[in-house]
Structure formats: C-alpha cells, structure tokens
C-alpha cells in the first residue's frame, strides 16, 4: 500500500513544511486537538503547585499536596474509589461476558431479542438511574423493600425499615455494575463472534474433556478481550459521578469525583488548590492505565483465529436450562430498565412520591409536566442542551476524522504520541476535565476570551471527553478506505479540503453519522462536565434535574427525566435506522 508522505503530496516541497502548507486544515485540527487535551491538563498540574485562585494565581508551593496527603479522608476516598471501580467492573464484565456467550454461542430462546434489549439501558442517564433506585431500595419508601417487608410479615417477622439499603458502598457497586454491562457487552460480543469453533472441535476430536477444552482453548482465546474489556470498564467506573452523588453523599461516602465536586462547588471558599493536587495525582494514574490498556490491545492480535476460510460458530445446546438462561437475562433487563422506568413514571404522575399501589391510580395527574412546560428555566436549559449536543458532536467528529486521517496517512515519529493523546481523556473523570478547563479559562490571559460561564466551554469539555471514542471510530472506518482513491484526487489537482469533503467523508459517512449520534446522545445526558462548569447562564437539563432533586422536588426531576429518556430513545433508534439505511445504500 502506498503511503501519503510529505514529499509525495506536496509536489516536491521538502518534508513537513511542504506537507503542512498543502494540508493546513489538517495541521490546524491536530493543533486544536492537542491544545484542547494537553493545555488544560498542563494548567491543572501547574496550578496544583500555586497559591491563590485561578483568576489570581499566587506563588509556587507544595502546600496543596501536603494538605491532601496529610488528611486521612483522602486515603479513605481513594480506597472507596478503588473498591467501587474493582467490584463494579467485576459485575459488569461478568454479566456482559455471560450475556455475550448466551446470545452468540447458545440456543437460548429469544436471543436476538435479548441482543437488542441489552442496548436499551444506554438511553437511561446515570443520574436518573440512581434516582430511580432510591425509589426502589430506599430503606423506608423503596418499592422492593416494601414488598420484602410484606413477605417477611407473612412469616411473623416485623420490620420497620429495610431490609436492604441502597445508600451504601455496596449499593453503589450494584448500580455501577449494572450500568456498565451494555458497553462491555459490545466489546465481548465481537470476541465471541471472532472465535473459530474448529479449534474447539479439534480438541474434542483429540479426546479433550469439556472442562479441558474450556480452560485450554476457549478461555485463552477470550483472555485478551476480557482483559481489554476489564480495563476499559475499570476506567469508566473510576469517573462515575452520578451514582456516587445521589447514593453516596447521603451516606457520607466519598469517591474521587464527588470529592472533587465538593472541593470546588460546596466548600466555602472553594479549595481549588486541593482539587488541582488530587486531580494531578489522578492524571498520573490515568496515564498508566492508558499505557496498560494500549499494551493489552497490542497483544490481542496474537490470539486472532479468523482466517479466509468461512465458518459458523458452534451453537451450544442448553437443554433444560434454555429458559432459565433467558430468565436470568430478563431479571437484568427488569432491574436496569423496567423497574427504574416504572418508578420514574409513577413519581412524575404524583404530587408527592408514595409507594405504588392500586389505590393511588385515581391520584395520578400531569401537573409536574405542566410545570415543566411553563418553566422558562427549563426552556433555557433545553436550548443550552441542544446547542451543547450539536456543538460537541460536530466538533468531536470533525476533529476525530481529521486526526485519524493524519495518524493513518502521514508517517511521522509523533503519530503514536498523537494517538495516545486522543485516547487519554477516556481514562480521565469528567470532573478532572471540567476543573482543568475551569482553571485554564478563569486565569489571565485566557479569561479575556470570556468562555467560562457560556455553553461553549461545556462544548469544548465534552469534545475532550468524547475525542477518544470519535478517533477510534474514525480510525476503524478509514482503514477500509484505500489510499489509491486519495492519490487519484491528488494527481487530478484536488486540494486537501476537496479530498476530505468529496471523497473521504462520503466513504466513511455511515460511521461518521453513527459516531455523531453517539456523541450527541451522550452529550444530552452528560452530567459531570456541565455540573462542574455550570453557572446561572449555561445550565443544561442534567444540571436542572440535579438542582431539582437536590432542592427536594423528586416529581419534577422524574417528569423531566421521563421526557429526556423519550428524546434519547427517539434519537438512538432513529440514528440506528439512518445509519443502517446509509450503509445499505453504500453496499448497493
């Protein structure tokens, strides 16, 4: 394959200088990406060694690190964060691997239906998921607890509360583990599809037992995918804010994201230096995690089993366990979608939340929805949310397309570093990205841009948050586009912008639109970045829901949440239909 080098595309101009002149748009996009990722993080690190506040930084000091690491609460917070991430990852990876096995390699009934339903939880924002579980497992009013107390009463056991309490570290672990299944499932299902069953057949022909085949063939082939999914899930759980904020704070259980939130939003005066010191420390951990993840992904190719020979994965008969397997999946679906959606809808239709019962059906009304539609604050937040979603999705995918193109088409020493820079934000909690942008655009001279307090700083923050997904998505699409098409454009005298607009983008348009919809839907529901960067002028719907919940209005929170879930579902389903239609047109 021919590679577009600097001299090749620049008509004889030497090296980088000629290439940069020919591809000025690509250079600017790369520089903007590096700026958005590196400069705020560098500002965070520098500020962690300075006194004062972001708009009036003082002299250099180690006081913030001394304060952070001399406080026993810091170690308790890190311990809670590690426990939450480790055990949540175990639940997510365990369930995702089990469901991937059931849907891809067994004769479980309705497995195609199950495959589709397992994607539905992505439409449930984390904040609403956590709120719904307070209605399900609150010690006093939780629906499940009320049912369990009723059952206990049949046996003569009288309980006044509980028996379960969602306001605990293990309650947070349960919710985070359930939330993380869908994304991990999408990683694992590809590994199951890629496994050549002829290896298992050969083991059986050689007389190997089922157990030996599982541990000697099946499990080793899955190990790289499991390791990659585990590390990806672990990094995702480290950054979670919604569940710890709703469930952990009432129980005074802090993890890293909630601790940063409190130091910058609740302390008087805010402890900006402390949050910067902790954020800088976490940044080092994130860099190590990114390196380990990239190393694990490089090893995955050693276990490739797909060849040019066609094959069909062997379906394992479950016998009498077929319907038991589907029942296990249905319980998961009920816990992640059916029960949470029901209690949110119920709460949105009552003036004050009361445990569901038939006697209350006559009291259901739409008052909370009327209040929402007549609230100017909600309408302003809706406009802000739409602007944020459109802006973040468009900027993220455009930068991702160009950066991925540069990494694939231009051979230069720094492209591995550029690739790592675009992936680094995935390992960073949204709160770190947000406070890094806060410190950068509150300090001189950048405060002169007046970005802080506008929706545009949220757009930039979310762009950084999702650049890892976007760049991977575009890299996978661009590898399918042969470079000869681009060379033909150059020979014909086409400019770089014309090449990208008329050849590259149309060829990868389904992937681009799919990525755009993914980023837009996640921006609509993102909570951590808008919350940290929120001012009275740039509230989004997620911030409005949190303020409503925090002020003691669960009915309005639920009503707004129901409307947001419906909007996300329409966007997701409509987007999948659009991408599928575009893909069919390209194939034809």
Q: By mean pLDDT, which of 423-432, 522-531, 568-577, 579-588 is the weakest?
A: 579-588
SS in 3 state form for 488-500?
Answer: HHHHCCCCHHHHH
- Determine which helix (DSSP H) or strand (DSSP E) holds 117, and give its type and residue range: helix 111-117
pLDDT at 52 over 60: yes
**C-alpha–C-alpha distance, residues 8 and 15, integer Å:** 9
H-type alpha helices, 195-266: 198-205, 210-213, 219-238, 242-243, 256-265
**C-alpha–C-alpha distance, residues 417 and 263, integer Å:** 33
**pLDDT per residue as tens digits for the range 193-244:** 666 566 666 656 665 555 566 656 666 667 777 887 888 888 888 888 899 9
**C-alpha–C-alpha distance, residues 499 and 405, integer Å:** 11
Q: Give residue 212's pLDDT.
A: 63
Between 577 and 140, name the one with better pLDDT: 140
pLDDT at 51 over 90: no
**pLDDT per residue as tens digits for the range 254-267:** 998 888 888 888 77
Q: Give residue 437's pLDDT.
A: 94
Closest C-alpha among 26, 5, 3, 30 to residue 16: 5
Between 177 and 120, name the one with better pLDDT: 177
**C-alpha–C-alpha distance, residues 534 and 454, integer Å:** 9
Mean of the pLDDT values across residues 553-575? 87
**57: β partners:** 52
**pLDDT per residue as tens digits for the range 267-302:** 778 888 888 899 888 888 888 887 777 776 665 555
Average pLDDT, the chain: 83
Confidence of residue 11 (pLDDT cuts 50, 70, 90): very low
**pLDDT per residue as tens digits for the range 484-508:** 666 666 666 667 777 788 888 888 8
Q: Give residue 333's pLDDT.
A: 94
**582: β partners:** none
For residue 252, give every residue at least 6 positions away whose Cβ sits within 8 Å of its Cβ, in sequence order, or none.
none
Token pair for residue 61? 């000091």
The proportion of the chain whose per-residue pLDDT surpasses 90, expressed as a percent, equals 34
**CA 578 to centroid of chain Cα atoms:** 22
Q: Give residue 303's pLDDT.
A: 47
Closest C-alpha among 466, 499, 440, 480 to residue 587: 480
**pLDDT per residue as tens digits for the range 314-352:** 677 788 888 999 999 999 999 999 999 999 999 999 988
- Determine which helix (DSSP H) or strand (DSSP E) holds 577, and give its type and residue range: helix 554-587
Q: Give residue 498's pLDDT.
A: 79
For residue 185, give every residue at least 6 positions away whose Cβ sits within 8 Å of its Cβ, in sequence order, or none.
96, 99, 100, 118
Q: What's phi and psi for 134, nearest 5 deg?
A: -70, -30
**pLDDT per residue as tens digits for the range 520-551:** 988 988 999 999 998 888 899 999 999 999 88
CA atoms within 13 A on the CB side of 86: 6
Q: What's phi and psi for 59, nearest 5 deg?
A: -75, 175
pLDDT at 509 over 60: yes
Between 52 and 167, name the one with better pLDDT: 167
Q: Give residue 307's pLDDT.
A: 45
**106: β partners:** 316
Long-range pairs of 286-290 with CB within 8 A, sequence gap ≥ 24: 286/235, 286/424, 286/427, 286/428, 286/432, 287/424, 287/427, 289/231, 289/234, 289/235, 289/427, 290/420, 290/423, 290/424, 290/426, 290/427
For residue 62, give every residue at least 6 positions away whose Cβ sits within 8 Å of its Cβ, in sequence order, or none.
49
Q: Give residue 312's pLDDT.
A: 55
Closest C-alpha among 326, 306, 97 to residue 189: 97
The proportion of the chain whose per-residue pLDDT surpasses 70, expressed as a percent, equals 84
| Angle 211-215-221 from CA coordinates, rounded to 5° | 135
Tally Cβ neighbours within 10 Å of residue 351: 11
**C-alpha–C-alpha distance, residues 438 and 497, integer Å:** 33
Mean of the pLDDT values across residues 402-414? 82
Tally Cβ neighbours within 10 Å of residue 24: 12
**C-alpha–C-alpha distance, residues 178 and 527, integer Å:** 18
pLDDT at 155 over 80: yes
Between 304 and 371, name the one with better pLDDT: 371
Q: Give residue 428's pLDDT.
A: 85
**C-alpha–C-alpha distance, residues 506 and 512, integer Å:** 9
**C-alpha–C-alpha distance, residues 125 and 519, integer Å:** 14
Q: Are 393 and 523 in contact (CB under 8 A)?
A: yes
pLDDT at 45 over 80: yes
Q: Give residue 13's pLDDT.
A: 45
Confidence of residue 119 (pLDDT cuts 50, 70, 90): confident
Between 135 and 54, name the one with better pLDDT: 135
Token pair for residue 90? 């175990």
- The pTM (predicted TM-score) of the whole model is 0.86
Between 581 and 307, name the one with better pLDDT: 581
Tally Cβ neighbours within 10 Å of residue 567: 18
Mean of the pLDDT values across residues 151-176? 88
Q: Are 302 and 228 in contact (CB under 8 A)?
A: no
At 56, is the secondary structure helix, strand, or coil?
strand
pLDDT at 95 over 80: yes
Domain limits, the chain: 52-132+166-306+320-328
- The CATH homologous superfamily to which domain 52-132+166-306+320-328 belongs is MetI-like (1.10.3720.10)
For residue 109, give every residue at least 6 positions away whose Cβ sits within 8 Å of its Cβ, in sequence order, or none.
322, 323, 326
């Amino acid at each position: 394959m021919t590679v577009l080098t600097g001299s090749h595309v620049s008509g004889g101009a030497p090296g980088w200088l000629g290439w940069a002149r020919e591809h000025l748009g690509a250079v600017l996009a790369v520089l903007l990406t590096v700026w958005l990722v590196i400069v705020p993080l560098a500002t965070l690190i520098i500020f962690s060694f300075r006194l004062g506040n972001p708009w009036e930084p003082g002299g250099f000091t180690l006081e913030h690190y001394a304060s952070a690491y001399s406080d026993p609460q810091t170690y308790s917070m890190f311990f809670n964060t590690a426990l939450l991430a480790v055990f949540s990852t175990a639940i997510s990876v365990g369930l995702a691997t089990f469901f991937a096995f059931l849907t891809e390699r067994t004769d479980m009934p309705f497995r195609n239906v199950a495959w589709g339903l397992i994607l539905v939880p992505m439409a449930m924002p984390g904040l609403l998921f956590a709120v719904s579980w307070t209605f399900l497992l609150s010690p006093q009013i939780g629906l499940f607890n009320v049912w369990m107390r009723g059952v206990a009463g049949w046996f003569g056991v009288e309980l006044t509360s509980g028996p379960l309490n969602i306001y605990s570290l293990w309650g947070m672990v349960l919710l985070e583990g359930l939330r993380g299944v869908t994304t991990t499932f999408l990683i694992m299902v590809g590994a199951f599809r890629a496994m050549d069953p002829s290896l298992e057949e050969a083991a059986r022909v050689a007389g190997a037992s089922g157990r030996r085949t599982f541990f000697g063939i099946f499990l080793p082939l899955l190990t790289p995918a499991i390791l990659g999914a585990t590390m990806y899930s672990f990094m995702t759980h480290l950054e979670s804010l919604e569940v710890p904020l709703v469930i952990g704070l009432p129980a005074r259980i802090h993890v890293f994201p909630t601790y940063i939130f409190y130091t910058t939003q609740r302390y008087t005066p805010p402890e900006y230096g402390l949050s910067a010191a902790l954020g800088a420390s976490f940044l080092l951990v994130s860099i190590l995690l990114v390196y380990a993840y990239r190393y694990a992904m490089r090893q995955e190719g050693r276990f490739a089993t797909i060849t040019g020979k066609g094959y069909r994965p062997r379906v394992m008969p479950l016998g009498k366990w077929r319907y038991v397997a589907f029942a296990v999946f249905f319980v998961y679906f009920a816990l992640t979608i059916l029960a949470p959606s029901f209690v949110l809808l119920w709460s949105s239709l009552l003036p004050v939340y009361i445990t569901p019962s038939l006697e209350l059906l006559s009291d259901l009304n739409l008052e909370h929805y009327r209040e929402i539609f007549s609230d100017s604050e909600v309408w302003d937040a809706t406009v802000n949310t739409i602007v944020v979603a459109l802006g973040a999705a468009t900027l993220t995918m455009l930068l991702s397309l160009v950066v991925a193109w540069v990494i694939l088409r231009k051979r230069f020493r720094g492209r591995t570093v550029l690739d790592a820079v675009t992936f680094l934000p995935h390992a960073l909690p949204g709160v770190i990205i947000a406070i890094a942008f806060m410190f950068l655009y509150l300090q001189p001279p950048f405060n002169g841009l007046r970005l802080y307090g506008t929706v545009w700083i949220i757009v930039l923050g979310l762009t950084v948050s999702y650049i890892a997904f976007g760049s991977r998505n575009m890299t996978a699409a661009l590898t399918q586009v042969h470079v000869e098409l681009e060379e033909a454009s150059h020979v014909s005298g086409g400019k770089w912008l014309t090449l990208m607009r008329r050849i590259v983008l149309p060829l990868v348009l389904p992937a681009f639109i799919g990525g755009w919809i993914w980023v837009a839907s996640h921006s609509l529901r993102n909570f951590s970045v808008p919350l940290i960067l929120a001012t009275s002028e740039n509230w989004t719907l997620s911030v409005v829901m949190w303020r409503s919940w925090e002020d003691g209005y669960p009915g309005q929170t639920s009503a707004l949440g129901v409307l947001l879930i419906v909007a996300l579902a329409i966007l997701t389903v409509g987007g999948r239909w659009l991408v599928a239609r575009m893909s069919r047109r390209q194939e034809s």
